[in-house]
C-alpha cells in the first residue's frame, strides 16, 4: 500500500529557514540553468496533456549519487542531514538532493502544471521542502495518468518551512508561480533498498 502524503508545517525552525533562504542568494552558490524542469527519464511517458507545460529552472546541486564528487555543498548537506535525522530518515540511502527555483512563465496560468513525473520506484521516498512563501502548488495525481486530464488527488501550497513527504512512485507536478517572484524548493529523494537500480527507478 502506498504511503500517505504527509504535510509537515514548521519542518524547520526560524533559524534554519533563514539559513536555507540565505544559501540561495550567496555569491558563491553555483546554480545550473536547466532548459526543462524534469529530466525526461522521470517523466510519465504520456505526451500531449493540454494543461502540462514546461519551463526553465535554476538548480543548485547538493548531492547526487551519479555525479562525483557526490557532495557538492558540504555545509548544506550537513544541515539537511540533520533534518533527515530529525524525522528518522537518516538511515535511508540518499539518491539526490538539490534546490530548484522556478519563475513566472508566459504560458503559465493558474490551471497549468509542469510535467507530471515520479521521483523513483519501489522503496523510494521523496521530500519537498518549501524555502519561501509563494504560489505554485505541488499537485499529486492518481496512478492512472495515461490520459489527457489525470485526476488530482491532493495539492500542497508552498509555505516557508513546510515539507511534504511521500512515496516517490506517486505521480506529481509543480506549478509555476503566477503572483510571486520565484518558487524555491528543496528536493530530496531517498531509498531504503536498491536491489535492481533500473527497476527501482521505474526504468524500462
C-alpha cell at position 170: 506517486
Q: Where are the beta strands (DSSP E) in the chain?
A: 6-8, 32-34, 57-64, 93-102, 124-130, 138-141, 152-156, 163-167, 172-174, 183-191
Say whether 78 sits in a helix, a strand or coil: helix
Give the whole-angstrom CA distance, residue 91 versus residue 81. 10
CA distances 23 to 20, 105, 110, 181, Å, are 5, 24, 29, 17
Q: What integer pLDDT is reported at residue 204 of this predicted model?
A: 34
Q: What is the C-alpha to C-alpha distance for residues 61 and 193, in angstroms, rounded to an integer?
A: 23
The per-residue pLDDT for range 136-173, each reduced to its tens digit, is: 999 999 988 889 999 999 999 999 999 999 999 999 99
Give the model's pLDDT for residue 53.
93
**pLDDT at residue 68 tops 80:** no
Residue 82 φ/ψ, nearest 5 degrees: -60, -40
pTM above 0.85, yes or no: yes
Whether pLDDT at 69 is above 70:
no
Burial code (b: 16+ CB inside 10 Å, e: under 16) for 163-181 equals bbbbbbbbbbbbbbbeebe
pLDDT exceeds 50 at position 2: yes
Q: pLDDT tens-digit profile of 119-131? A: 998 899 999 999 9
Distance CA 48, CA 13 (A): 41
User: Does residue 79 have a pLDDT over 50?
Assistant: yes
Measured between alpha carbons, how far is 154 from 150 in angstroms, rounded to an integer?
Answer: 12
The arrangement of secondary structure in 6-200, i.e. its CATH architecture, is Sandwich (2.60)
Q: Residue 1 pLDDT > 50, yes or no?
A: no
Rg, Å, the chain Cα set:
16
Mean pLDDT is highest, among 26-30, 51-55, 129-133, for 129-133
Whole-angstrom distance, CA of residue 113 vs CA of residue 55? 10
Which of 104, 107, 83, 93 is CA-nearest to residue 165?
Answer: 83
Sequence spans of domains, the chain: 6-200
Q: What's the DSSP call for residue 3?
A: P
126: exposed, middle or buried (Cβ count in 10 Å: 0-12, 13-18, 19+): buried
Residue 38's pLDDT band (boundaries 50, 70, 90)?
confident
Interval 81-91: pLDDT, tens: 999 999 999 99
Q: 123 or 40, which is more confident?
A: 123
Q: Across all residues in the chain, what is the average pLDDT?
A: 90
Amino acid at each position: 500500500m502506498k504511503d500517505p502524503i504527509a504535510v509537515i508545517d514548521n519542518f524547520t525552525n526560524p533559524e534554519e529557514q533563514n539559513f536555507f533562504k540565505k544559501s540561495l542568494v550567496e555569491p558563491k552558490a553555483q546554480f545550473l540553468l536547466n532548459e526543462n524542469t524534469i529530466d525526461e527519464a522521470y517523466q510519465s511517458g504520456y505526451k500531449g496533456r493540454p494543461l502540462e507545460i514546461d519551463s526553465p529552472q535554476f538548480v543548485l546541486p547538493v548531492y547526487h549519487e551519479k555525479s562525483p564528487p557526490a557532495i557538492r555543498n558540504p555545509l548544506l548537506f550537513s544541515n539537511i542531514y540533520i533534518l533527515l535525522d530529525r524525522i528518522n530518515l537518516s538511515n535511508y540511502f540518499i539518491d539526490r538532493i538539490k534546490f530548484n527555483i522556478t519563475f513566472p512563465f508566459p504560458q503559465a496560468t493558474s490551471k497549468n502544471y509542469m510535467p507530471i513525473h515520479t521521483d523513483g520506484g519501489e522503496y523510494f521516498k521523496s521530500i519537498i521542502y518549501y524555502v519561501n512563501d509563494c504560489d505554485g502548488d505541488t499537485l499529486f495525481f492518481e496512478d492512472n495518468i495515461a490520459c489527457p486530464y489525470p485526476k488530482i488527488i491532493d495539492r500542497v501550497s508552498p509555505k516557508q518551512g513546510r515539507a511534504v513527504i511521500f512515496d516517490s512512485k506517486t505521480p506529481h507536478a509543480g506549478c509555476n508561480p503566477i503572483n510571486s517572484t520565484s518558487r524555491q524548493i528543496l528536493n530530496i529523494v531517498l531509498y531504503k533498498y536498491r536491489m535492481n537500480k533500473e527497476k527501482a527507478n521505474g526504468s524500462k
